[in-house]
Chain A
Amino acid sequence: MLPAQGENNAVPALRETEIIMLLNAILPVWLRQLGSIKNQTEEAVDQLADSVSSIVKHFGRAGVSSVSGQVIRSDVDNLLLSLQYQDRVNQMLTVVIDDMSRLQRIITINNSRIPASDEWLSELSSRYTMHDERDRHQQAARNGDGGNAKPDSDEVTFF
């Protein structure tokens, strides 16, 4: 993370310029790669959804009376649950992509204010929607390893 203004005395000016040039070259590549991953995942899930939809239509005609019908129904329910994880992954990727774009904007605009790392991380965490995202963020901010956060448990709240 780039230091806040006024905290960068330890970084020689030449090295700072080199880091900015490096980031300028790398960030567009990372963004393109992540964007491609996002698109490919969406396409794969669309195709999978087509197949599930087709199974559901055939299954609907077959009915649920037989034991095999119940097994298929259970498998379809599991598939429908799994398909939803693409939406979660998509949202998580979007937050990271947006944040990388934000960094890219800051380093490409001359004289733009460089926020302190706490400020940056706080703004980033305000865009999370899921518990496990917040947990990973806090763990990573504390000790650099946030990979163990568990996904949210399912729940319904009636008001």
Chain B
Amino acid sequence: MAKTILIVDDSASFRRVEVMTLSGAGYEVIEACDGIDALDKLSQLGLKKIHLIICDVNMPNMGGIEFVTAVKQNQKFKFTPVMMLTTEDSDVVKQQGRAAGAKAWMVKPFKSEQMLNAVSKLILP
């Protein structure tokens, strides 16, 4: 059964690149355009499991750090791994992501191979 990944990014064109990369490798992908939308999508999952969240940092309505903080407070997703995927490369913001509960930080733009390697390391067997 395909593993499911939630991608959260306000750029529609960037989400398309993520979807093409991940679905091409056999993952099922759910899209959200910001933190609020992502929390909404998570609340509608029912019994479906999310194996990984890939999240941008700078987004309108609710940014990535705030979203990850909210996700980690939810018992259902407390152990779901999160990778931040962003143009943001400042060490200060990286540490904020780590403190919020992110497991990895990838700087955009990504190479397909690099992304898939990181995903396979983060998704639990």
Contact = CB atoms under 8 A, between A and B. Distances in A.
Nearest to B88: A129
Nearest to B9: A87
Nearest to B12: A46
A77 B17 contact: no
A77 B13 contact: no
- Which secondary structure characterizes the binding site on chain B? mixed
A90 interface: yes
Nearest to B82: A159
Interface string A35-72: 00000001001100100110010001000000000000
Contacts of B108: 84, 87-88
B86 interface: yes
Contact of A87 (B13, B89, B114): B13
A46 B94 CA distance: 30
A53 B57 CA distance: 25
A45 B15 CA distance: 12
A77, A80, A154, A155: which has the most chain B beta carbons within 10 Å?
A80
Nearest to B117: A156
A46 B121 CA distance: 31
A49 B104 contact: no
Contacts of B24: 56, 60
A7 interface: no
- Max chain A Cβ within 10 angstroms of own Cβ: one of B86, B89, B103: B89
A53 B16 contact: yes
Contacts of B90: 129
B105 A159 contact: yes
B113 A77 contact: yes
Given A60-B24, A81-B112, A157-B104, 5 more contacts: A129-B58, A129-B88, A130-B87, A154-B110, A159-B98
The 8 closest A-B pairs by CB, nearest first: A84-B109, A129-B88, A157-B105, A87-B14, A77-B112, A159-B98, A49-B16, A156-B106
